[in-house]
Every structure is written in C-alpha cells, then in structure tokens.
C-alpha cells in the first residue's frame, strides 16, 4: 500500500493540534484543583467530549457537591454537566485488581525510588483476595519485579500470568487486563442509570441558581471488558428531566444524543 506523504503529514499535524487543544482545556482545571486520579480521568473525558461534539462548549470549571460534576458554558449560558461511566458486573473484580496494581506501584516507588521502568503485568482471571492479604500480595509482586529487573532467578507467583519489563522515563505499572469483548448496552440498564442521576437535579437547582440547564454524559469505556458497547440496532432515545443526555464511546469518540 502506497502512503501519500502529504496526507501522512496532515494526519500527524491534525493529531498534534488536537492534543494541544485538549491540553489547553485540561490544564487550567488541573492547575486550580488537586484531584485524585479518577477525577483527572473525568476531566480528560469531558474535555474530549467538548472538543468532539459538534457544538461550541467551554468548560468553566470542576464542580463539587452540591454542584454538578462540571460547569460548562454553551451559547453563552452556564449549564451543569453530570458525568458517569456505565460499567457491568465484571467491574468489581477488575477495579479491585487495578487498585492492587496501583498500591503495588506505590510500594515499589517507596522501596526503589531511583528506579524508572515500565512493567506490564497481568493477573489470573477471577483472582480474588481479602483486603488483609493485599499488602502481602503487593510485596510478592514487588520482589518478583525487582529480581526480574536484576536478572536474578525468581519464581513466578501462580496468580501472575504475564510480567514484562522495559526501560522508561518514569516508574509505571501497566495492568494488562485479560480482555474479553464488551457486551452490548441494554436499554433497560441505560434507563435505570439515567433515573438514578435524575434524583440529583432538584438538589442542584436548590444549590446553584446560575445554571439554566442540566446535561448528562454517559461514558462507555470500550477499551475495557467492564464496560459496554452500543448496539447499532437499538434506539437508545429516552425521556428524562435532564435537558440533554449524551452517550459517548471513549475509544472511537462516537457521541450520540439520546435526549
């Protein structure tokens, strides 16, 4: 296949431009607020939404209870934006494993602060553990990684299915999920999640009079088996007290308005 060099240059240029535009949206919010990792991810996703949607939206700031998750400006009017992920029944175990990996990374950083490497790690499917075992498991992973890094003989713990190490500018533990294709999003579940969020609207109206509308952004993380994908044969349109509701597939940035 012949690649047109000019088209390639334009593709790279467009990608850089979009990345810079996203940074311009994200950085002012992160500079103003010290946020946990989960909320930083939400900021990035909402910034992506505001760029990909075919309307002019400006993120004014990160909201905190009793305000909506984000304050946005649309058509020169302030509006509240709620953000939530729709995840399935697998999420509890996967999130528990991710928490273990994050915890292990912190222990490794404290133990070997001078070491910057990238560790790809996979855990046995359906691996379960009690909270009081977490520290011991993390210590086993740390010792295994360090021995492998030094080239020493080590015994792979039975719950580890993959362990790869690469040089890197930072210390990063990258969890590689034992991926299985996401399921289609059931409309019944969608309606249930929207109804649950609707309860907050009256509270928001009492606490914040400047906001003229309330929007809801529902995110499907299609890179994870804990989420769902859209069924192209289903009409996801719904009735709700939100002024607008959007569904967004994170991977392909597909956005559909369902109300």
pLDDT digits (tens, 9 = 90+) for 218-252: 998 776 667 788 898 999 999 999 999 999 987 65
**76-120 confidence digits (pLDDT tens):** 999 999 999 888 766 677 778 888 999 999 999 999 999 999 999
**154-194 confidence digits (pLDDT tens):** 999 999 999 999 999 989 999 887 666 778 899 999 999 99
| Element spanning 81, H or E | strand 77-85
* Sheet strands (E) in 148-203: 160-167, 172-175, 183-184
Total Cβ atoms within 10 A of residue 25: 18
Whole-number Å distance between alpha carbons of 96 and 112:
24
Strand partners, 184: 229
Total Cβ atoms within 10 A of residue 87: 19
Total Cβ atoms within 10 A of residue 207: 12
Exposure of 169 by Cβ count < 10 A (0-12 exposed, 13-18 middle, 19+ buried)? Answer: exposed
- Residue predicted with more confidence, 213 or 205: 213
Where are the domains positioned within the chain?
A: 37-88+183-257, 91-175
User: Coil, helix or strand for 8?
Assistant: helix
| Predicted TM-score (pTM) of this structure | 0.70
Whole-number Å distance between alpha carbons of 91 and 36:
19
């Amino acid at each position: 296949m012949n690649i047109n060099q000019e088209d390639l240059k334009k593709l790279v240029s467009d990608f850089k431009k979009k990345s810079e535009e996203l940074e311009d949206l994200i950085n002012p919010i992160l500079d103003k607020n010290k946020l946990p990792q989960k909320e930083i991810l939400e900021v990035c996703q909402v910034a992506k939404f505001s760029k990909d949607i075919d309307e002019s939206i400006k993120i004014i700031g990160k909201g905190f209870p009793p305000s909506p998750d984000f304050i946005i400006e649309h058509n020169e009017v302030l509006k509240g934006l709620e953000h939530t992920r729709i995840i399935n029944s697998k999420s509890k175990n996967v999130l528990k494993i991710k928490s273990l990996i994050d915890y292990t990374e912190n222990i490794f950083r404290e133990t070997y602060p001078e070491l910057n490497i990238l560790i790809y790690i996979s855990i046995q499917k359906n691996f379960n553990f009690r909270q009081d075992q977490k520290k011991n498991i993390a210590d086993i992973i740390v010792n295994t990684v360090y021995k492998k890094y030094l080239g020493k003989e080590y015994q792979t713990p039975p719950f580890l299915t993959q362990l790869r190490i690469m040089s890197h500018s930072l210390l990063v533990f990258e969890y590689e999920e034992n991926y299985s294709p996401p399921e289609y999003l059931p409309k019944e579940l969608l309606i249930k999640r929207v109804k649950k969020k609707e309860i907050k609207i009256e509270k928001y109206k009492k606490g914040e009079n400047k906001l003229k509308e309330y929007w809801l952004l529902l995110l499907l993380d299609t890179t994870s088996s804990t989420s769902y994908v859209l069924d192209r044969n289903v009409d996801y349109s719904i009735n709700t007290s939100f002024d607008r509701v959007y569904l967004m597939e994170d991977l392909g940035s597909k956005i559909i308005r369902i109300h």
